[in-house]
Amino acid sequence: MDLLKIENILFYLALAGYLVSVVLFVLLFVNKSEKWGQLGKKVLTAGFIAHTLALIVRWVNAGRIPLSNQYEFATAFAWGVSLCFLIFERKYKLLAMGTFVSPILFLIIGYAAMRDKSVRPLMPALDSKWLAVHVTLAIVSYGAFAVAAGVSAMYLARDKFTNDNFSSRNLPDKENLDLISYRVSAFGFIFLTLVMITGSIWAESAWGSYWAWDPKETWSLITWIIYAIYLHLRKSRGWSGKRAAIFSIVGFVCVIFTYIGVNTFLPSLHSYA
C-alpha cells in the first residue's frame, strides 16, 4: 500500500471521527447528559490523532511540509481548529463548546475533502523557509478564531436554554462566555499579527515587495483590522455582550472569505493556498 493510500485512509478516518463528534455533541444537549459530551470529545480526539498521522504521512510522501496548496492548507486549517478546541476545552472545562465548534471543524475538513489531493512539487515562490513559519502561524490563528466564533455563538444562544441543572453544570453564564471569547480572540490576534509580519518578509524575498495589495493580502489586512477594532473597543470602551459576540462571528466570516472566497472569486498571487 503506497503512502497516498495510507494518507487517504487516515484522512477519512479523521473526517468520520469529526462527523460522529458533531452528532455526539448535539446529543449532549438533546439528552442533557454529560456522557455524550465526554464521548464526543474522545471521538474528536481520536479523529485529531488520525488527522495528525495523515499530515505526517503526507509530509513524508511529499518530502516537504504539507502546506503548499488548497487541499493541504484546508486540511491543516481543520487540524488547527481541532487542536485549538482541545486546548481551550481543557483550559476552560467547557464540553458544550464542542456543540458549536465541531460543525465548523467538520465543514472545513469537508471542504478539504473536495480538493485535489495529488502531491505536486513546490512552486518556486513557495520554496522558502518562511512557508512553514507563515502558514503554521495562520493555522493557529484561524483555529483560535474558529473557537472564539463558536463560543460567541454559545453566548448568543445562551438565553434559549432553560436554567436547569444541566445548563448550570455545562453552560457558563453570559459574562464568562463573553470573557472566554475575548481571550481566545486575543490569542488568535497575536498569531494573526505574526502572520502579517512574516508574510510581508516572505513577500519581499519572493516578489521584491513587502506589500502588493494582492486580494489575499488586502483581505488579511481587513480581517486584522476587524479584530483590532474588536479588541480596542473591548479595552477602551468596555465593549462586551451581544455586539462583541456578533463582531467575533463577523471576524471569523472574514477569515473564511480570506481563505476560500479570495481563492474562488478573486485572482490572486496566493490562489494556490
Could you tell me the three cell numbers for 159? 438565553
Burial 196-222 (b: 16+ CB within 10 A, else e): bebbeebbeebeeeeeeebbbbbbbee
Residue 197: what pLDDT?
A: 92
- Tens digit of pLDDT at every position of the chain (273 positions): 588 899 999 999 999 999 999 999 999 988 888 999 999 999 999 999 999 999 999 999 988 888 888 899 899 999 999 999 999 999 998 999 999 999 999 999 999 999 988 887 777 666 678 788 888 999 999 999 999 999 999 999 887 877 778 777 778 888 999 999 999 999 999 999 999 999 888 877 766 676 677 777 888 889 999 999 999 988 777 778 888 999 999 999 999 988 787 776 655 555 555
Asked whether residue 95 is domain-assigned, the answer is yes
Count of structural domains within the chain: 1
Measured CA to CA in angstroms, residue 85 lies from 38, 40, 43, 147, 193 at distances of: 14, 12, 13, 6, 21
| 145 inside domain | yes
Q: How far is CA 77 from the centre of its chain?
A: 5
CB 59 within 8 A of CB 53: no
196: which residues sit within 8 A by CB, 6+ positions away?
A: 220, 221, 224
SS3 of residue 114 by DSSP: coil
- For residue 64, CA distances in Å to 70, 120, 135 come to 15, 10, 13
Is 117 within 8 Å of 71 (Cβ atoms)? yes
Q: What is the pLDDT of residue 208?
A: 67
Residue 170 has what pLDDT? 78
Contact between residue 116 and residue 202 where contact means Cβ atoms under 8 Å apart: no
272, part of any domain: no
Q: Which is nearest to 181 in space by CA: 95, 92, 99?
A: 92
Domain range for 224: 3-115+124-265
Match 454529560 to its residue by C-alpha cell.
Answer: 34
Give a yes or no: residue 273 inside a domain.
Answer: no
Contacts of 183 (CB under 8 A, 6+ apart): none
What residue type is 220 in one-letter code? S
Helical spans, DSSP H, in 63-129: 70-92, 97-113
